[in-house]
Structure 1
Amino acid sequence: MNPVILIVIMIIIGAMIGGVTNSLAIKMLFRPYRAIYIGKYRLPFTPGLIPKRQQELARQLGKMVVEHLLTPEGLRRKLKAPIFQDQVTTWAQKEVEGWLDHPATIKDLARDLDVDISSKKLEKSVSGWIEDRYHTIMSEYRHVPLEEILSEEWKRKAEKGTDRLADHIQESIIRYFQSREGRQKVTALIENYLDNQGFLGNMISSFMGPDGITERIYPAITRYIADNEMNVWLRGMLQSELKELMQHRVSFFEDKIGRETIGRVLGQSVAKALPIEKWVTRSIAEWTRPHREKIVYNLVPLFITKMTELLSSRMDRMMETMHLSEIVQEEVEAFQVQRLEEMVLGISRREFKMITYLGALLGGLIGMLQGIIVLFFG
């Protein structure tokens, strides 16, 4: 045979063998996707390398991600980076601003959440809560004397109030007796007294007459009730009454009206005094408008700073709780090998072709070398 033709044939055969071998090796990285059996015997090299080692690959990837890629230290650096915090703060401020401008009312939000906040129900809830709080607080003070509950300031106010009450009572009595009605009342009392005294009363009445007796007694009565002695007596009496009341337990005053009655009336009064209907029909924008600037520019940055510090301090525990390596392992195990093959070939198709061509080139060179050796020794 012509030496040139022999060498060419050897080169072509070597190139075909080298190219086909490399191409087959690349294919066998992924294919076949499943093991192939002939009877009970599995064919060698089935499934492909990656499908066969997918679980081990998934385990190693999970370990690599946790130990070398998503480490707590790396995440802390990212969280504490000024650029990242500025980005998060800007995003949070925009989100909060949008929420603060929301036209929905509290009632609308509750309806979206399937929560009933009608005015009557809220009034009932507020009333019940205040009533419960009243009984809870009073259970601690019912058996305590009133003077032990009141502060010194309130005791002084009570004493001053008692003195003012004595002055007011005296002034009221004076005005009454100086009025026409008071004078008539004094005359009627004198007449009634004399009528009940029998003969002596009739004699005095006939001798002086009711009007005459009134003219003599009335000035003495008005002078006495206007005298300072009357004021001192009233103050002393009321102060004595006050001291006696201070010795009573709180339950003494509560029982005069009724515990349940006080709690119920107090709760209902407070609930009706609150503008609940107005509150629930106000929009979020109306509620937050007075505090908008403070919320957006003060509270939001502070909240982001505190949250990043909290996340940084809890990063190790969070990553342990999340089990990232197991998540990565499960995702890789569930990933379809066919899809992985498409991704790898889509990225490295050119490089794989070059490997195939390199195999053909090396095969051709080996074939040429073999042809030369055959000619030389043949």
Structure 2
Amino acid sequence: MDKFWFVLFMGIIGAVIGGVTNAVAIRMLFRPHNARYIGRWRVPFTPGLIPKRKSELARQIGKIVDEHLLTPESIEQKLNEPEVRGEIEAFLQIEAKKWMQSDITIAEILQKAHFSNAGANLEARMNEWIDQKYTAIKDFYVDQTVKESLPAEWLDKAEEKIPNVSAYILTKSADYFSSEEGRYRVKRMTDDFLAEWGKFGSVIQMVLGNTSLEDKIRPEIVKFLTSPGTKDLLDTMLKSEWDKVVEWKWADVLEQFSDEKAMQKTKKFVAGQLDLETFLNQPLSAYAVPFEEKVTSTLIPELTAKGITKMAKRIPSMMGKLKIADIVRQQIETFSTERLEMIVLDITHRELKMITWLGALLGGLIGILQAVILMAFPT
């Protein structure tokens, strides 16, 4: 019976020693937080292991996070997961619907973005842009001829239309002089002619008898206008004039027009077509709702896929610029030793407790083994 109590006593002593030793060793990882001194002599093992190696620990953790945990490949893989992509699409679709169904006007949106008097400013910018473009185009073409500046196909097509133009002129002229209005016009012209010639005009009228000069002239005018020779003559004349026109320089053409008046009319026309005030004061939904289905079902998924692809390509360079390892190191170095101890203990509390009990178990077994050996080999 004495041997049993001896073995039990040795086991308990070994267990206490093993458990306490492991508990002290675990505590020495963090404690003491600061170095202890006796005079100028620093007490060994102070501060604890982790406080003493805090900077090295922070650097190593940062390196592990950067090289093995938060890697470009892991981020790219996470972004490409269907759940993540679905969440991004859902968020964008909800936000897009809010905007597209909103009653806020474009002017109010610009106002919130600190663009006051948007209508006047846009019109001023538009007018400035028109002035700049007109000046640039004018400076570029001013020393060129019409033939040099216009495409060859345009010129060829215009030249091909000359016979059609001359036919149109002659047809309309013949129709005019065949009409009552044309008859009245010729009568006035002949009456004025006879009146200017005085007595000689009266003689001519006497010679014609009951037939008026207008009745003689008008058929001849119509006959002349419908004659093939007249058509050929007008074709030749128009072709000759066209050849002169294409050799004009734009400087000569622009001299015939007022720049200021032309620009004012252009600006007024463009402003009228755009109607900026009406456009800006319409609610956003008036323009966006017709496209809501296409935006939410087609555009946003496409943009999400393209955005994730482009983002994935730029992740390595972005992470290189962010310097994740330095960020983690700096954050850990700012932790107090107490906070760092609390974080580690919160994570490893169960494991450290098991290590303490394991030390007690091993110590107890060693104590029992020692007791058995002492009893087997008494001195």
**Same fold by TM-score, threshold 0.5 exceeded?**
yes
Between 1:28-37 and 1:48-57, the stretch displaced more is 28-37
Contact 1:105 1:281 in 2 (8 A): yes
C-alpha contact 1:127 1:268 (8 A) present in aligned 2? no
How far 1:360 moved relative to its partner? 5.7
TM-score under structure 1 length normalisation: 0.78
Q: Indicate yes or no: 2:127 matched with 1:131.
A: no
Distance 1:325 1:58, change over 3 A: same
**Offset, 1:107:** 1.3
| Aligned residue identity for 2:243 | K
Partner of 1:255: 255
How far is 1:39 from its partner?
5.8
Q: Which residue of 1 aligns with 2:310?
A: 310
5 Å matches for 1:1-378?
19-37=19-37, 41-148=41-148, 149=150, 151=154, 152-157=156-161, 160-172=164-176, 175=179, 176-179=181-184, 182-194=186-198, 202=199, 204=200, 207=203, 215-229=211-225, 232=231, 233-234=233-234, 236-356=236-356
Contact 1:131 1:264 in 2 (8 A): no
SS of equivalent residue, structure 1 residue 257: coil
CA separation in 2, counterparts of 1:206 and 1:299?
Answer: 87
Judge which range, 216-225 or 160-169, deviates more.
Answer: 160-169
- Give the Cα separation in 2 of the matches to 1:335 and 1:213: 127
Percent of residue pairs identical: 32
Amino acid at match of 1:110: L
Aligned residues: 367
1:227 shift after superposition: 1.8
Letter in 2 for 1:187: D
1:29 Cα deviation after fit: 1.7
Distance 2:210 2:296 in 1: 82
TM-superposed CA distance for 1:270, in Å, is 0.8
Deviations 1:174-203 (A, max 9, x none): 655411x65234212322233xxxxxxx4x
**Distance in 1 between the 2:293 and 2:70 partners?**
37
For residues 237-267 of structure 1, give each alpha carbon's deviation from its aligned partner in whole angstroms, at most 9, with x where no partner exists.
Answer: 4443333223212332222113454334323
| Deviation at residue 33 of structure 1 after TM alignment | 2.9
Moved more, 291-300 or 12-21: 12-21
Find the aligned partners of 1:166 and 1:44 in 2 and give their Cα distance.
Answer: 120
Q: State the alpha-carbon separation in 2 of the partners of residues 166 and 248 from structure 1.
A: 27
- C-alpha separation between the residues in 1 aligned to 2:315 and 2:332? 24
Query: What runs of 5+ residues in structure 1 fail to find an aligned partner?
Result: 195-201
Alignment-mate amino acid for residue 288 of structure 1: A
Query: Structure 2, unaligned stretches of length 5 or more?
Result: none
User: What SS does structure 1 have at the residue aligned with 2:255?
Assistant: helix
Is this contact kept in 2: 1:100–1:285, CA < 8 A? yes
Farther off after superposition, 238-247 or 298-307? 238-247
TM-score computed with the length of structure 2 as normaliser: 0.78
Q: In structure 1, what is the Cα distance between the partners aligned to 2:330 and 2:15? A: 42
